[in-house]
Amino acid sequence: MNKDRVILEPARFDLTLDRLSFELIEQYQDFQDCCMVGIQPRGSVLADALYDRLTKHYKISDFPYGKIDITFFRDDFRTRAKPLEADTNHIDFLIDSKRVILVDDVLYTGRSVHAAMSALQQYGRPERVELLVLIDRRFNRHLPIHADYTGLQVDSLDKSYVSVDWNPKTGKHKILLFEEKAD
């Protein structure tokens, strides 16, 4: 049995989302020539939460927001035992000359972010892409990718697993660290 421990409880989770929202407001102010894209599936949940906070709680006017699927851009696409199922892209705008906020839940090896940047190219040439992650695992990065906005840095062993537990019914979200990844 895998033992888990909570590394970010619900109250701090909400504060972390607020801090990330404030960092984006400080950087982008009116969010002109900017868009937000969540990496499906888990990064888009975080992007939904941030977009909701920015537009409803902090009264930022609507700005382009979408979700991108990276299934066919992954470098392990053909090495999986069972076929991967792709999600639908939800991007109805071009990113030409826009500042893109790319959102994912956990940054670990950097491979998902690399795939997302490749997938974004079909929507144009952005002015800049900045990465926002809820958790940055820091160790064992396979590619030279770093987050511009980070909720929490976690130093853990390679065999450990970080899970973001979104609870839409209660709104009490938390982050768990498992000693070993479950099979």
Structure confidence by residue, pLDDT tens digits, 55-105: 999 999 999 999 999 988 887 666 667 777 788 899 999 999 999 999 999
pTM value > 0.85: yes
- What's the pLDDT score for residue 72? 86
Q: At residue 1, does pLDDT exceed 50?
A: no
The residue with greater pLDDT, 36 or 154, is 36
Q: Given CA atoms 130, 136, 139, 140 in this order, what sign does their dihedral have?
A: negative
Structure tokens at 45: 């949940």
- The token duo for 182 is 């479950």
- Look at residues 102, 40, 37, 50 and name the one whose alpha carbon lies nearest to residue 72: 40
Domain locations along the chain: 4-25+33-74+84-178
Cα separation values, 13 from 45, 56, 131, 134, Å: 14, 18, 19, 9
Q: What CATH number matches the domain at 4-25+33-74+84-178, 3.40.50.2020, 3.50.50.60, 1.10.150.120, 3.30.450.40?
A: 3.40.50.2020
Give the model's pLDDT for residue 183.
Answer: 53
Strand partners, 163: 176
**Torsion angle, CA of 29/128/90/33, rounded to 10 degrees?**
40
pLDDT tens digit string along 101-124? 999 999 999 999 999 999 999 999
Q: Say what the alpha-carbon torsion angle 100, 106, 108, 112 is, to the nearest 10 degrees.
A: -50
